Structure 1
Amino acid sequence: MCAGNKQGDELAESDPTSKTMRAAVLAAPGQIRVDEIALPEPGTGQVRVKLEGCGVCASNLGPWSGPEWLTYPGEPGGMGHEGWGVIEAVGQEVEDLAVGDRVAALSYNSYASHDIAEAANIVKLPPELADQPFPGEPLGCAFNIFERADIHAGQTVAIVGIGFLGALLTRLATDAGARVIAISRRAYSLDVARQYGAAEVIPMDDHQKIIDRVKELTDGKFCDRVIEAVGKQWPLDLAGELTGERGKLIVAGYHQDGPRTVNMWLWNWRGIDVINAHERDPQAYIQGMREAVKAVAEGRIDPQPLYTHRFKLDELAQALDATRDRPMGFLKAIIVP
Structure 2
Amino acid sequence: MSGRLQRAASRITHSIAPTTMQAVILTGGGRIALKEVPIPEPGEGEMRVRLVGCGVCSSNLGPWAGPEWMTFPTAPGALGHEGWGVVDAVGPGVENFEPGQPVATLFQNSYAQFDIGNAENAVPLPAELAHMPLPAEPIGCAMNIFRRADIQPGQTVAIVGIGFLGAILTRLARQAGADVIAISRRPFALETAQRMGAVQTIAMDGHDAIIHKVSDMTGGRFCERVIEATGKAWPLDLAGELTAEGGRLIIAGYHQDGARQVNMQLWNWRGFDVVNAHERKQETCIKGMREGIEAVLSGRIDPMPLMTHTFPLSRLDDALNATRDRPDGFLKAVVRMP
Q: Distance in 1 between matches of 2:214 and 2:303?
A: 28
Instruction: Indicate the SS of the match to 2:27.
Output: strand
Query: 2:27, 2:203 → 1: CA distance?
Result: 38
Instruction: Please tell me whether residue 78 in structure 1 is matched to residue 78 in structure 2.
Output: yes
SS at match of 1:329: coil
Q: Which amino acid aligns with 1:166?
A: G
The aligned amino acid for 1:56 is V
Aligned to 2:92: 92
Cα deviation code 1:138-159 (max 9, x no counterpart): 0100000000100011110000
- Indicate whether 1:173 and 2:173 are aligned: yes
Q: Tell me how far apart the structure 2 counterparts of residues 170 and 218 of structure 1 sit (CA, whole Å).
A: 18
Q: CA deviation at 1:16?
A: 6.7
**Deviation at 1:326?**
0.5
Counterpart CA distance in 2 for 1:113 and 1:130 is 17
Instruction: Tell me the alpha carbon deviations over residues 280-325 of structure 1, each in whole angstroms, 9 at most, x when there is no partner.
Output: 1010000000000101001111010000000001000000110011
Alignment of 1:190 with 2:190, yes or no, is yes
- Equivalence for 2:31: 31
1:130 CA displacement? 2.4
Alignment of 1:62 with 2:59, yes or no, is no
Q: For residue 17 of structure 1, give the secondary structure of its aligned residue in structure 2.
A: coil
Structure 2 Cα separation of the partners of residues 74 and 117 of structure 1: 17
Residue identity (%): 62
After TM superposition, the score normalised by the length of structure 2 is 0.95
Question: Which runs of no fewer than 5 residues in structure 2 stay unpaired?
Answer: 1-14
Give me the whole-angstrom Cα distance separating, in 2, the residues matched to 1:148 and 1:26. Answer: 35
2:305, 2:269 → 1: CA distance? Answer: 41
Q: Does the residue aligned with 2:44 lie in a helix, a strand or coil?
A: coil
Aligned equivalents of 2:216, 2:315: Cα separation in 1: 46
Q: What do the CA deviations read for 1:210-265 (whole angstroms, capped 9, x no partner)?
A: 00010011100000000000001110000000000000000000000000000000
Q: Does 1:107 align with 2:107?
A: yes
Paired residues, what number? 323
TM-score by length of 1: 0.95
Query: RMSD of the TM alignment (CA)?
Result: 0.8
Show the counterpart of 1:284.
Answer: 284
- Give the residue type in structure 2 aligned to 1:63: P
Q: Residues 139 and 16 (structure 1 numbering): CA distance in 2 closer, same or farther, change over 3 Å? A: farther
Amino acid at match of 2:154: G
Structure 2 counterpart of 1:130: 130
Mark the structure with the bigger radius of gyration. 2
Q: Are positions 1:117 and 2:117 aligned together?
A: yes
Counterpart-to-counterpart distance in 2, 1:293 and 1:324: 27
Find the counterpart in structure 1 of residue 268 from structure 2. Answer: 268
**Counterpart of 1:81 in 2: which secondary structure?**
coil
Distance 1:111 1:130 in 2: 19
How far apart, in 2, do the equivalents of 1:260 and 1:135 lie?
A: 30
Instruction: Show CA shifts across 1:179-210 (max 9, x none).
Output: 00000000000000000000100000011110
Question: C-alpha separation between the residues in 2 aligned to 1:62 and 1:84?
Answer: 23
**Distance of aligned partners of 1:122 and 1:206 in 2 relative to their CA distance in 1, 3 Å threshold:** same
